[in-house]
Amino acid sequence: MHVDLYERIWMWAASAMIALFLAVVAFSAATQAVHPPGEVETIDPLQVRIQGEFAAPGVHRGPGGETTVVVVAEMFRFEPSVIRVPAGEKVTFRVTSPDVLHGFQVVGTNANVMVAPGYVSEFSLTFPEPGEHLVVCNEYCGLSHHLMSGKLIVEEAR
Ligand code: CUA
């Protein structure tokens, strides 16, 4: 069967492209090149509820008066669902998921992280003004994703 030279060149070019794409997919899968932003800390998702700080999620005051908010994001709620933090002070959030990918966004603020099972998403923020904010999950996580919300209340500084 005669195949035109020009056609053969394009067949090879197409094959080379497919091979390249497969190589990229294989490389990404092998090296887990897709990570949530700021990821440095890993956690066993099966242990999240059982041991460590995430077994008792909530707002914690450290010995130096620092505020740490430990949040579990799971299908389809945040625990704690109501978070109270002081205004004008640095607040550190530590969020993880025991099941699937979620988001943790405090509407109207700069707080917005991806929450992946296996990782702790940590960030710090100061809320200048007292007020109430909606907390939403902004990653599609299942049928009741749209019901997954909470509240963050910024209280007058003590
Ligand atoms: Cu959790 Cu969407």
Strands 119-126 and 90-96: antiparallel
How do the domains of the chain map onto residue ranges?
1-35, 45-155
116 CA from centroid of ligand 1 (Å)? 11
pLDDT tens, residue by residue, 26-85: 888 787 655 555 557 899 999 998 999 999 999 999 898 899 999 999 999 999 999 999
CATH number for the domain formed by residue range(s) 45-155: 2.60.40.420
Handedness of CA 135, 138, 142, 146 (dihedral sign): positive
Q: Is 95 in the pocket of ligand 1 (CB under 6 A)?
A: no
154 CA from centroid of ligand 1 (Å)? 23
pLDDT tens, residue by residue, 84-103: 999 999 999 999 999 999 99
Please tell me the predicted confidence (pLDDT) of residue 34.
58
Burial class (CB within 10 angstroms; exposed 0-12, middle 13-18, buried 19+) of 75:
middle
90 CA from centroid of ligand 1 (Å)? 26
- pTM here is 0.74
Most confidently modeled range among 21-25, 36-40, 107-111: 107-111
Residue with tokens 């990404």: 28
